[in-house]
Structure 1
Amino acid sequence: MHFKNEKNQTKFKNMSNEKTIKSALISVFSKDGLAPIVKKLNEQGVTIYSTGGTEKFINDLGINVVPVEDVTSYPSILGGRVKTLHPKVFGGILNRQNHDGDVAELAEYNIPQIDVVIVDLYPFEKTVASGASNQDIIEKIDIGGISLIRAAAKNYADVICVSSVDDYAEFLELISVNNGAISEEDRKRFATKAFNVSSHYDSAIFNYFNANNDETVLKISETKGKVLRYGENPHQKGFFYGNFDDLFTNFMARN
């Protein structure tokens, strides 16, 4: 005789590897290259949620957009410091779409599902390099954006995170070729890019605060590596990080 143990039954249903985008949250500092993506998402019937300047940008394109304030019932507060930090936003991103409990809670609390997050970060490093005041630099420490990136990347099983304008062209091609369907492999690849963005950003902030070396910690984040022909051995991959031209110039000067 076989006894079925309900407690050991998985809460998860079998689902396809591909996810079709039905809703998107877009909140970016730079609008460069965004218009073609917004137009394509609109063409595919995707519901778009947005905030502040991005919301206005999308409206000016003649495309319907749902203000995040309509979802949260809260306006942007504290001079824009708090816009998206709300359970109805992060619940929509972090829920597991094949988990019965999560699906039930979304319905109970009227939380909309979010399938793609397109967000970039305040230009912290550029602000520091410009010689801006400490107060201006502090205001360029992104809170909502970095939280959205981490949430969407963590939940790559269901959500795709586009965290940099550098990835807009590739994302546009993905949704154009596949009619909005994104594979888990691509979602994870974009999540990797997103965690690269977030870790580099946090390293830059730490290094600014630790300018006097109060903390005996070294954080180096090189994001532009050069692929070499091979590594230490021909069968290995090799990469160079840093300014190769400067290295070559210094080497020649010594000789």
Structure 2
Amino acid sequence: MAVPRVLILRAPGTNCDEETAFAFEAAGAVTERVHVNRLIENPKLAEDFQVLCLPGGFSYGDDIAAGRILASQLDRHLGDMVRQFCDQDRLVLGICNGFQVLMRLGVLTSGVRETQPATLTWNDHGRFEDRWVHLAVDKTKTPCVFLKGIDKMYLPIAHAEGKFVTADAEALKAFGDAGRLALRYTAADAGQASDEVLPFPSNPNGSEANVAGICDATGRLFGLMPHPERHIDPTHHPQWTRRAQQPQWGEGFAIFKNAVDYFGE
């Protein structure tokens, strides 16, 4: 089986890069945490990697808007590199702040319409929200590589600008029909995706259609607000001491394992 190399992009304010590297390495990948300035100096460094991951944190302090400065920096200086990852048979993963960056770049929403069809904005209550959430995969439709074989997950979120909104009902329908609304918030007892917006805290930010993560049309590019790297070990679960039997891995591990397995298929 081929061992993929994962480029974990760092920038001022990034703070989840080490945990994300650990998750990919536990799944069998080789990782390197690379500062964005190194890539700007030498973009060819990216040619040695099969996966590009933008981890969570607060890149450039989330000044102006979450992820906007890093997205502008990538677009201006590393646009060709980003396009190569998107266009070739490679994978791109954006977690929380990384998801926000990918949305600002437009790579997750391409193909729906020429003007921007969706964005991430402030949580409905206007505050930073830190809690665990129940999630369901729209598995009957989604082509998302990272969610293969996953039905549901329980993961933590930590964000202030995670509300997914579309330009209009037509754009939301286009995303849904293509299976690109890949990951949804659910009620604890639901276990499956629903378009009807759930109340807080099941839907922690007010996202349309309870969207927690979306993918591109190929399924190789994926962004999500929850943090899978924070539920890799079963002891990460907030109620792990109450369980009679512990699983081998936490529920976020499968996302990273799917990325590694993609290159062995």
TM-score normalized by the length of structure 1: 0.30
TM-score normalized by the length of structure 2: 0.29
Select the structure that is richer in helix: 1
Select the structure that is richer in strand: 2
